[in-house]
């Protein structure tokens, strides 16, 4: 039985701005959710609205979380977060319930989800924008054992960014594969020109190339290239199942908070693997609680993909020590449940 719920707001400053086409993030705001069992124990989740949602979006999500928390005491610990419609709030409550259940069973959360789950996951380096400092950041990550770097593009003219990517690749000696995220920056003609210009570069994939995406337009782009075209923020409007069924893209980039939690993410993953569509789990500079929860989900998936979870170094402060990274892999904390809890 759930005895009570703790809500702990946080505001975490970044070491430097996180730049994307739709937002520049300097502070990550959220609320940690602690679900307490009547017989002892507590499970944690993280409710962090996307920075692009603005103040109004944060207020809406936090209000939904507070309403959900008020209805939890007296319910069974094993209960699904039924009635929590707002995705970010649902993700936080579900994570806390699953963390508590896994702790009570003495299992890591990933093993609760999948008895054969790994203890670590491959991750890409988060290199930020394609600016003057990108090559230095990439070189440092190469030295740390990362061979895949994610770069924000769509922030400058197409031809300028293509030149910058070739120069970057030359400086790195072709040693790093490039995962590019345009955050819906281009019309179809510019996207086609950008993708065509990548033919001689070690590109792992391009996320969200189209400002006004449709499944047909994405399929036309995917048919032209050998690497993966991916969707992330467009999943909400295009639909994950529809994207998989259409074969329009070869990769789905999933933020479990945006989908509404671990259960919904696992359902989509099952659909994707049957269609040979890759699923990558990612976060937007989330707290250590949010990152580790997403990493447990990633470890339980039947994909060998590198995930977008190596973002903790962008935070100047965190709610607890972040997970360990070594040679391009994130190791899940040892112990039951998430394996960590927020510092008092």
On whether both 59 and 187 belong to a single domain, the answer is no
Question: Which of these three, 65, 88, 106, is where a domain ends?
Answer: 106
SS3 category, 148: strand
pTM assigned to the model: 0.94
What number of other Cβ atoms are within 10 A of residue 176's Cβ?
24
Predicted pLDDT of residue 21:
57
Based on the structure, what is the number of domains in the chain? 2
On whether both 189 and 253 belong to a single domain, the answer is yes
Q: What is the pLDDT along the chain (344 residues), one digit of tens a residue?
A: 999 999 999 999 999 888 765 678 899 999 999 999 998 899 999 999 988 888 999 999 999 999 999 999 999 887 788 789 999 999 999 999 999 999 999 999 999 999 999 999 999 999 999 999 999 999 999 999 999 999 999 999 999 999 999 999 999 999 999 999 999 999 999 999 999 999 999 999 999 999 999 999 999 999 999 999 999 999 989 999 999 999 999 999 999 999 999 999 999 999 999 999 999 999 989 999 999 999 999 999 988 899 999 999 999 999 999 999 999 999 999 999 999 999 98
Quote the Cα angle for 215-266-280, to 5°.
Answer: 60
Instruction: Determine, yes or no, domain membership for 289.
Output: yes
> Which of 207, 205, 162 lies closest to 184 in space, CA to CA?
207
Given phi > 0 = left and psi -120 to 50 = alpha, else beta, which region is 271?
Answer: alpha
Instruction: Determine, yes or no, domain membership for 50.
Output: yes
On whether both 309 and 170 belong to a single domain, the answer is yes
On whether both 118 and 81 belong to a single domain, the answer is no
DSSP code per residue over 312-331: GGGBSS-SSPPPEEETTEEE
C-alpha span between 55 and 39 (Å, rounded): 38
Predicted pLDDT of residue 202:
98
Instruction: Determine, yes or no, domain membership for 341.
Output: no
CATH of the domain at 44: 3.30.390.10
On whether both 148 and 172 belong to a single domain, the answer is yes
On whether both 62 and 150 belong to a single domain, the answer is no
On whether both 190 and 251 belong to a single domain, the answer is yes
On whether both 248 and 297 belong to a single domain, the answer is yes
Predicted pLDDT of residue 19:
74
Instruction: Determine, yes or no, domain membership for 219.
Output: yes
On whether both 88 and 183 belong to a single domain, the answer is no
Question: 81 lies in which domain range?
Answer: 2-106
On whether both 89 and 209 belong to a single domain, the answer is no
Instruction: Determine, yes or no, domain membership for 340.
Output: no
Maximum distance among all Cα pairs of the chain, rounded to whole angstroms: 62
Tokens of 195: 């993708």
Instruction: Determine, yes or no, domain membership for 344.
Output: no
Residue 238 CB-half CA count within 13 A: 26
CATH of the domain at 159: 3.20.20.120
Question: Which of these three, 79, 106, 133, is where a domain ends?
Answer: 106
Instruction: Determine, yes or no, domain membership for 237.
Output: yes
Instruction: Determine, yes or no, domain membership for 300.
Output: yes
Contact indicator for 158, 130 with CB cutoff of 8 Å: no
On whether both 22 and 85 belong to a single domain, the answer is yes
Estimate to the nearest angstrom the gap between the alpha carbon of 32 and the chain centroid: 17
Question: Which of these three, 106, 123, 145, is where a domain ends?
Answer: 106
Q: CA-CA distances (angstroms) from residue 299 to 116, 148, 157, 191?
A: 9, 18, 37, 32
Beta strands in the chain (DSSP E): 2-19, 24-37, 42-47, 120-129, 148-152, 177-181, 203-207, 228-231, 251-254, 278-281, 307-310, 324-326, 329-331
What number of other Cβ atoms are within 10 A of residue 317's Cβ?
12
Q: CA-CA distances (angstroms) from residue 55 to 68, 193, 319?
A: 20, 36, 21
On whether both 150 and 206 belong to a single domain, the answer is yes
């Amino acid at each position: 039985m759930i005895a009570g719920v703790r809500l702990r707001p946080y505001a975490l400053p970044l070491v430097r701005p996180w730049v994307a086409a739709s937002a520049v993030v300097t502070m990550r705001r959220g609320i940690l959710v602690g679900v307490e069992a009547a017989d002892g124990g507590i499970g944690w989740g993280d409710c962090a609205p996307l920075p692009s949602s603005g103040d109004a979006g944060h207020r809406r999500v936090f209000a939904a979380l507070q309403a959900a928390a008020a209805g939890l005491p007296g319910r069974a610990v094993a209960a699904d977060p039924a009635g929590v419609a707002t995705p970010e709030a649902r993700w936080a409550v579900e994570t806390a319930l699953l963390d508590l259940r896994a702790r009570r069973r003495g299992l890591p959360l990933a093993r609760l989800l999948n008895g054969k789950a790994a203890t670590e996951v491959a991750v890409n380096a988060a290199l930020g924008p394609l600016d003057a400092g990108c090559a230095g950041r990439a070189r440092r990550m190469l030295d740390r054992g990362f061979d895949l770097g994610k770069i924000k593009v769509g922030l400058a003219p197409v031809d300028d960014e293509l030149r910058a990517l070739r120069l970057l690749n030359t400086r790195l000696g072709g040693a790093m594969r490039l995962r590019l995220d345009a955050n819906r920056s281009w019309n179809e003609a510019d996207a086609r020109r950008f993708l065509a210009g990548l033919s001689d570069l070690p590109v792992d994939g391009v996320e969200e190339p189209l400002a006004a995406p449709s499944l047909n337009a994405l399929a036309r782009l995917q048919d032209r290239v050998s690497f993966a075209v991916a969707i992330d923020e467009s999943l909400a409007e295009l639909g994950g199942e529809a994207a998989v069924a259409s074969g329009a893209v070869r990769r789905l980039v999933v933020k479990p908070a945006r989908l509404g939690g671990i259960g919904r993410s696992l359902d989509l993953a099952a659909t994707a693997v049957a269609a040979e569509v890759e699923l990558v789990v990612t976060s937007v500079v989330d707290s250590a609680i949010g990152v580790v929860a997403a990493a447990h989900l990633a470890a339980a998936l039947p994909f060998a993909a590198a995930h977008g979870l190596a973002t903790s170094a962008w935070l100047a402060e965190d709610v607890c020590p972040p997970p360990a990274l070594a040679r391009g892999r994130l190791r899940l904390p040892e112990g039951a449940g998430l394996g960590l809890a927020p510092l008092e």
